[in-house]
Every structure is written in C-alpha cells, then in structure tokens.
C-alpha cells in the first residue's frame, strides 16, 4: 500500500486547530494558553530541524556522528529532568544525578538491544540507533524526573519522621526506605500503565506510525512489543539508580539529613 504524502498546508491546518484550542483555554482562564503555544512552536521547529539532521546523519552513517547525536540527546534530556523538579539538589547534582542515571540505563539497554536483539549491520546504524535511543531517553527522562521529584518532595514533607528514625538508631537507608520505594514506584507506574493499556485501550505511537507507513501489522507489533519492554526496563533501571543516588545525597557522612542541599521549590 502506498504511503499518503502529507503536505505542509495540512500540517498548517492542524496547527490552526491547536491555536483555536489555545484561544478556548485563554477564554476559560485555564492559565495554559502560553505554555500550549510555546509547546506547539517547539514541536514544529524541533521536529522540522531534527528531520534535516537525521537525513544528513543517515547519509553519513558514521559512529562518531551517531555518538555525538546521542550525547546531545542525553545532555538535553538531563536538562529537562532538572527543569521538572520542584525541589532541586544544589550545585551540579540536580543535573548530574538524572543525566548519569539515564546514561547508565538508556545507553546500556540501547546497546544490548542493538547488538543482541535487533542486530543491524553495523550495530550503530542510525536508522535503528537514534530512534531507539530517543524512545528510551524520552521515557526514562519522565521516569527519572518523577522519581527525583517525589523523593525530594517527600523527604522535605517527612523530614521530622526521618530525623526521628535516625535518632532511634536506624541507618539512613532504613530511615528513608519508605520514601525511596514510593519514589521508585512513581517513576515506573507510567510505563507499567502504558504496557497494561497497549493494544486494548490504545495503539502505541511507534506501531501506529509503522502501520501508516505501510509496514505489515504483525511486524509492527513485534517491534512495538520489543520497544515497550526495553522502555520499561530502561525506565525502571533509571528510576532506581536516580533514587538511590539522590537519597544518598540527602545525607552526609555522619548520616544526618541535609535538606540544605535542596533548593526552594521552583516556579
């Protein structure tokens, strides 16, 4: 089946409809019209630019350029994780914990998937490596951001409980364990919900895109199952690493709770 070509005027019409939604939100005083307009503009500009970059990258197919692209994606994802936290760690920790967690989880899972499960030749073929890493980073970014935000917010709200546990002789890991569990759970729940609803309530984006592009549904389903499983794996691993590193940062060498290492709520 031939793929139906989309013209720019059709995309422009979709943008106009979103602008109408923004106007309705403004009239209803929802306070999100500006954010909606900025998000729409960023979506159009960013995706248009990335299309040009990917076309160039696909034509070159160099490991160096694929690695540079992956590094830029990681650094930007780290910035987004930091921006989504109400109470950030001070210094470079707000950026470093999330970025390092995503690097260990997303990059390791992506490399294993490319080398063992999919096996393109070469393994860093950009048509496979970049979209795969992008989906992993995007979902892991959300999980890590939710986990760190829940960790720091709960630590602040339950600071007296934590300090009482420390005074009773508990190790810092025991004193903060309930909060760590809740934070890890918060980061993993979206991926679990997405897997539970896939195919029954919703058709995942990658599968839908492949089917619209003419890929046989059976093959699209196989890829979607693989992608959802590794996304859940990467998100879970990233959330656990971020929470473990973040919770350790909340205490000093003498096992004292150090909430002065957190900034005041942002926004």
Q: Where are the alpha helices (DSSP H) in 84-216?
A: 93-102, 108-112, 126-157, 159-167, 172-197, 205-212
* Residue 262 in tokens: 């957190």
Q: How does pLDDT run across 52-79, given as a tens digit for each residue?
A: 888 888 888 889 999 999 999 999 999 9
Q: Which region among 9-13, 171-175, 204-208, 263-267 has the lowest average model confidence (pLDDT)?
A: 263-267
- How far is the C-alpha of 264 from the C-alpha of 185, rounded, in Å? 24
184 pLDDT above the threshold of 90: yes
111 pLDDT above the threshold of 60: yes
pLDDT band at 47 (very low <50, low <70, confident <90, very high): confident
What is the structure's pLDDT at 161? 93
What is the structure's pLDDT at 98? 92
* Residue 104 in tokens: 């260990």
Cβ-based burial of 84 (10 A; exposed 0-12, middle 13-18, buried ≥19): middle
Residues facing 262 on adjacent strands: 89
194 pLDDT above the threshold of 90: no
Four-residue CA torsion sign, 164, 165, 166, 169 = positive
Q: How does pLDDT run across 129-159, given as a tens digit for each residue?
A: 998 999 899 999 999 999 999 999 999 999 9
Task: Give the domain ranges of the chain.
Answer: 1-60, 63-261
* SS3 at position 262: strand
What is the structure's pLDDT at 7? 84
Higher pLDDT, 8 or 140: 140
- How far is the C-alpha of 172 from the C-alpha of 155, rounded, in Å? 12
Chain centre distance of CA 78: 9
- Mean pLDDT (the chain) is 88
- How far is the C-alpha of 236 from the C-alpha of 144, rounded, in Å? 9
Residue corresponding to tokens 């959330």: 239
Contact predicate 88/262, CB 8 Å:
yes
- How far is the C-alpha of 191 from the C-alpha of 182, rounded, in Å? 15
What is the structure's pLDDT at 266? 53
pLDDT band at 1 (very low <50, low <70, confident <90, very high): low
- How far is the C-alpha of 76 from the C-alpha of 4, rounded, in Å? 33
What's the half-sphere exposure (Cβ side, CA atoms, 13 Å) at 99? 18
What is the structure's pLDDT at 156? 92
* Residue 251 in tokens: 């205490």
The answer to pTM > 0.85 is: no
Q: How does pLDDT run across 34-43, given as a tens digit for each residue?
A: 999 999 999 9
pLDDT band at 201 (very low <50, low <70, confident <90, very high): low
* SS3 at position 3: coil
What is the structure's pLDDT at 202? 65
Residue from 138, 122, 125, 143 nearest 73 by CA: 138
Q: How does pLDDT run across 79-99, given as a tens digit for each residue?
A: 989 888 888 888 888 899 999
């Amino acid at each position: 089946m031939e793929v139906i070509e989309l013209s720019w005027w059709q995309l422009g019409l979709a943008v106009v409809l979103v602008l109408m939604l923004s106007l309705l939100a403004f009239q209803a005083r929802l306070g999100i019209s500006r954010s909606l307009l900025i998000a729409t503009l960023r979506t159009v500009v960013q995706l248009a630019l990335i299309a040009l970059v990917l076309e160039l990258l696909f034509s070159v197919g160099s490991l160096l350029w694929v690695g540079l692209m992956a590094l830029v994606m990681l650094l930007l994802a780290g910035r987004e994780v930091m921006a989504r936290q109400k109470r950030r760690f001070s210094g470079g920790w707000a950026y470093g914990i999330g970025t390092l967690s995503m690097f260990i989880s997303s990059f390791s899972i992506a490399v294993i998937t490319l080398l063992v499960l999919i096996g393109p030749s070469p393994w860093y073929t950009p048509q496979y490596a970049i979209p795969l890493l992008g989906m992993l980073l995007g979902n892991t970014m959300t999980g890590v951001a939710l986990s760190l935000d829940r960790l720091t917010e709960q630590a602040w709200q339950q600071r007296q409980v934590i300090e009482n546990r420390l005074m009773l002789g508990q190790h810092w890991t025991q004193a903060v364990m309930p909060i760590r569990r809740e934070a890890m759970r918060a980061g993993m729940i979206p991926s679990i919900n997405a897997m539970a609803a896939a195919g029954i309530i919703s058709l995942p984006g990658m599968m839908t895109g492949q089917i619209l592009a003419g890929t046989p549904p059976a093959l699209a389903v196989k890829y979607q199952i693989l992608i959802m499983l590794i996304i859940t794996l990467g998100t879970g691993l990233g959330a656990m690493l971020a929470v473990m590193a973040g919770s350790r940062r909340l205490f000093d060498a003498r096992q004292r709770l150090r909430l002065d290492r957190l900034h005041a709520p942002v926004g």
